């Protein structure tokens, strides 16, 4: 809340300053011509030569519907070895990886040559894939040493390449802004225009070496784009060169294995980082101490008409989303607390008010019957067996399984304190893509920490 207000204030200040300046300039007559500044020739010249040298190694990667022979999605990629190994994003080839009988992969090079692609390896957590095209002595790009060592200087110029919106191969100049601080999966913050279709393309340094792989952008900002660090691609490449290629008929098993390994690390780290207690009225409730959570607060105090129960909530969600397919994402965890107190509701009305936050049962995001089972829930009144003294909690546990992957679930647990008639704390922990055991362990810990404030 503080951060948002501060942010708003700063922007407002800048806008005022600009307006004042413009008025002052208009009052002067005649307008003074700014001194001619020659364009920096080195920059565009650099981009020109970088594009010229990198271009032969670029690929457009198309997913075609087998039956129709037409493209259903496009992305980019780049060659990394003379014998035809290329790097792209997992999400560029995900349709093919999940449904190899329905789709096939094809590449198109800037010189117009086309051909079939073989999918060798995937890394779902880092959104990477290695593909191979037939050929020898192919032009290719290499990885940047500073990027591999994570020593790239902030502000370094990077050049993202790819084929945006199927318009043709493009080079985009931008700036390296270090790693995204709150992202669990390492991502480079690249300030430059990455557009759909450029996914999987390289972002290279001025020397023409790959520092990252184009992967995503924020829709609510300008030029806020993300790259997968080169080191992750180099590691997957090394694995693809030594290991047996991905068995497409069992691609889901491989993804399942990767998701299980990912969630084991993620939820272990979440537990390791521990919880810190936040005071909410007469209660204390756990908030994650992990750094990769984005937290927002909300209140209904300023609503009109004046709310009959005041609600102050905080909601923290982890920046750890994993793309699986168009209709399913996973990998996020959310902790939220809402402290509600009656203004002029009687106990029954207050219970009805609180029910709004209990009833939804807290499953994150939309549901797809193709991807997820129907949720199953268990609810009861719960009291602490051990740990700090706390109120009786009305608790509901809801879980649903992923149809494609064994042993992975979405789980949400919601609790409502039951010790006061006109005050309550509604707490929720939602976990996506979690193993059942991890979910139970973490939820048990979460519930155990909901207590009366000391």
Partner 1 sequence: MGEVMTSPHAENAIWVEILSRLHDVATRYRCAVLPITVGRAYDNDIVVDDPHVAAHHLRIHRADDGTLMVEDLGSLNGLYVDRERERRTEVALDAEHDLRIGATILRVRSTAHEVPAELPMVRGLPYWPAAIACIVGVFALAALDLWLSETGEPKAIRYFTPLLILTVVVCVWTTGWSVLTRVFTGHARFGLHFLVVAAGLLAYSIYDQVAEIGAFAWSWTSLATTSYVIAWLLLGAICFAHLVAINRARRPLKIAIACILAAAGIAMQTLKQREYRSTYGQPTTLNRLEPPALRLVAPQHDAAFFTDSTALRTTLDKARTVEPESGDASGENDSDD
CA 432 – CA 263 distance, rounded (Å): 9
- Does position 348 interact with partner 1 (CB under 8 A)? The reply is yes
Q: Would you tell me how many other CB atoms lie within 10 Å of the CB of residue 415?
A: 27
When the beta carbons of 33 and 374 are compared against partner 1, the nearer one is: 374
- Does position 220 interact with partner 1 (CB under 8 A)? The reply is no
Which H or E run contains 49?
helix 41-54
Closest contact distance (angstroms) between CB of 94 and partner 1 is: 20
When the beta carbons of 92 and 98 are compared against partner 1, the nearer one is: 98
When the beta carbons of 243 and 421 are compared against partner 1, the nearer one is: 421
When the beta carbons of 240 and 399 are compared against partner 1, the nearer one is: 399
Judged by CB under 8 A, the stretch of 145-153, 177-185, 264-272, 362-370 that binds partner 1 is 362-370
CA 276 – CA 268 distance, rounded (Å): 16
Query: Out of 372, 429, 431, 434, which residue is the one contacting partner 1 (CB under 8 A)?
Result: 372
3 state SS of 57: helix
When the beta carbons of 28 and 304 are compared against partner 1, the nearer one is: 304
Which H or E run contains 189?
strand 188-191
When the beta carbons of 72 and 355 are compared against partner 1, the nearer one is: 355
Judged by CB under 8 A, the stretch of 85-93, 135-143, 180-188, 301-309 that binds partner 1 is 301-309
Beta carbons of 152 and 211 less than 8 angstroms apart? yes
Find all residues with CB under 8 Å of 85, minimum gap 6, and list them.
79, 120, 130, 131, 132, 237, 240, 241
DSSP code string of 229-240: EHHHHHHHHHHH
- Size of site (CB under 8 A) for partner 1: 61
Query: Out of 358, 425, 433, 449, which residue is the one contacting partner 1 (CB under 8 A)?
Result: 358
CA 280 – CA 266 distance, rounded (Å): 27
When the beta carbons of 168 and 305 are compared against partner 1, the nearer one is: 305
Judged by CB under 8 A, the stretch of 96-104, 171-179, 207-215, 380-388 that binds partner 1 is 380-388
Query: Out of 177, 191, 277, 373, which residue is the one contacting partner 1 (CB under 8 A)?
Result: 373
Q: Would you tell me how many other CB atoms lie within 10 Å of the CB of residue 61?
A: 31
Question: Which phi and psi angles does 104 have, rounded to 5°?
Answer: -140, 165
User: Restricting to residues 92-121, which ones interact with partner 1 according to CB under 8 A?
Assistant: none
> For residue 53, what are its two tokens?
């040298």
Query: Out of 221, 374, 389, 454, which residue is the one contacting partner 1 (CB under 8 A)?
Result: 374
- Does position 55 interact with partner 1 (CB under 8 A)? The reply is no
Torsion of CA 351, 352, 354, 358, to 10 degrees: 110
When the beta carbons of 66 and 376 are compared against partner 1, the nearer one is: 376
Q: What angle (nearest 5°) sits at the alpha carbon of residue 163, between those of residues 159 and 166? A: 155
- Does position 359 interact with partner 1 (CB under 8 A)? The reply is yes
Query: Out of 400, 429, 434, 451, which residue is the one contacting partner 1 (CB under 8 A)?
Result: 400
Closest contact distance (angstroms) between CB of 252 and partner 1 is: 12
Binding track over 401-430 against partner 1, x by CB under 8 A = xxx--x--x------x-xxxx---------
Find all residues with CB under 8 Å of 391, minimum gap 6, and list them.
283, 417, 418, 419, 420, 450, 451, 452
126 to each of 142, 185, 288, how far by Cα in Å? Answer: 19, 7, 23
CA 403 – CA 375 distance, rounded (Å): 12
When the beta carbons of 381 and 452 are compared against partner 1, the nearer one is: 381
Query: Out of 5, 70, 101, 369, which residue is the one contacting partner 1 (CB under 8 A)?
Result: 369
71 to each of 68, 113, 186, 200, 374, how far by Cα in Å? Answer: 8, 16, 31, 17, 33
3 state SS of 73: strand
Query: Out of 297, 300, 353, 388, which residue is the one contacting partner 1 (CB under 8 A)?
Result: 353
Judged by CB under 8 A, the stretch of 93-101, 163-171, 186-194, 390-398 that binds partner 1 is 390-398
When the beta carbons of 182 and 445 are compared against partner 1, the nearer one is: 445
- Does position 345 interact with partner 1 (CB under 8 A)? The reply is yes
Look up residue 444 and give its DSSP letter.
H
User: Restricting to residues 305-344, which ones interact with partner 1 according to CB under 8 A?
Assistant: 305, 308-309
- Does position 242 interact with partner 1 (CB under 8 A)? The reply is no
Beta carbons of 236 and 128 less than 8 angstroms apart? yes
When the beta carbons of 270 and 442 are compared against partner 1, the nearer one is: 442
DSSP code string of 3-29: HHHHHHHHHHHHHHHHHHHHHHHHHSS
- Does position 443 interact with partner 1 (CB under 8 A)? The reply is yes
Binding site for partner 1 (CB under 8 A): 305, 308-309, 345-356, 358-359, 361, 363, 367, 369-370, 372-385, 392-403, 406, 409, 416, 418-421, 436, 440, 443-444, 447-448
């Amino acid at each position: 809340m503080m951060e948002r207000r501060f942010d708003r204030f700063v922007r407002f200040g800048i806008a005022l300053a600009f307006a004042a300046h413009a008025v002052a300039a208009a009052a002067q007559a005649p307008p003074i011509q700014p001194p001619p500044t020659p364009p920096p020739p080195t920059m565009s010249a650099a981009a020109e030569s970088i594009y010229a040298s990198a271009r032969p190694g670029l690929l457009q990667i198309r997913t075609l519907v087998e039956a129709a022979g037409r493209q259903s999605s496009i992305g980019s990629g780049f060659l990394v070895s003379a014998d035809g190994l290329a790097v792209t994003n997992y999400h560029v080839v995900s349709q093919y990886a999940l449904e190899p009988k329905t789709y096939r992969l094809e590449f198109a090079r800037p010189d117009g040559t086309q051909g079939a692609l073989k999918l060798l390896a995937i890394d779902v957590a880092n959104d990477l894939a290695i593909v191979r095209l037939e050929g020898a002595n192919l032009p290719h790009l290499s990885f940047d040493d500073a990027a591999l060592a994570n020593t790239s200087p902030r502000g370094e110029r990077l050049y993202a390449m790819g084929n945006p919106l199927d318009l043709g191969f493009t080079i985009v100049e931008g700036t390296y802004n270090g790693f995204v601080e709150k992202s669990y999966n390492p991502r480079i913050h690249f300030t430059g225009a990455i557009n759909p279709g450029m996914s999987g393309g390289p972002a290279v340094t001025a020397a023409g070496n790959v520092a990252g792989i184009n992967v995503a952008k924020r829709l609510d900002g300008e030029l806020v784009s993300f790259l997968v660090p080169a080191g992750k691609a180099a590691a997957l490449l090394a694995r693809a060169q030594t290991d047996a290629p991905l068995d497409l008929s069992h691609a889901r098993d491989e993804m399942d294995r990767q998701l299980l390994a990912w969630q084991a690390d993620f939820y272990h780290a979440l537990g390791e980082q521990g919880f810190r207690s936040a005071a909410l009225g007469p209660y204390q409730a756990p908030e994650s101490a992990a750094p990769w959570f984005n937290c927002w607060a909300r209140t209904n105090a300023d609503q009109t008409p004046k709310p009959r129960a005041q609600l102050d909530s905080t909601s923290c969600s982890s920046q750890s989303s994993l793309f699986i397919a168009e209709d399913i994402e996973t990998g996020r965890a959310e902790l939220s607390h809402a402290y509600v107190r009656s203004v002029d509701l009687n106990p029954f009305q207050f219970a009805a008010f609180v029910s709004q936050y209990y009833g939804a049962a807290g499953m994150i995001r939309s549901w797809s019957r193709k991807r997820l089972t129907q949720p199953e829930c268990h609810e009861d009144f719960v009291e602490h067996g051990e740990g700090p003294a706390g109120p009786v909690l009305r608790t509901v546990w809801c879980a649903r399984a992923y149809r494609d992957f064994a042993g992975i679930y979405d789980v949400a647990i919601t609790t409502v304190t039951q010790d006061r008639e006109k005050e309550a704390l509604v707490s929720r922990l939602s976990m996506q893509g979690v193993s059942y055991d991890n979910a139970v362990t973490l939820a048990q810990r979460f519930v155990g920490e909901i207590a009366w404030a000391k």
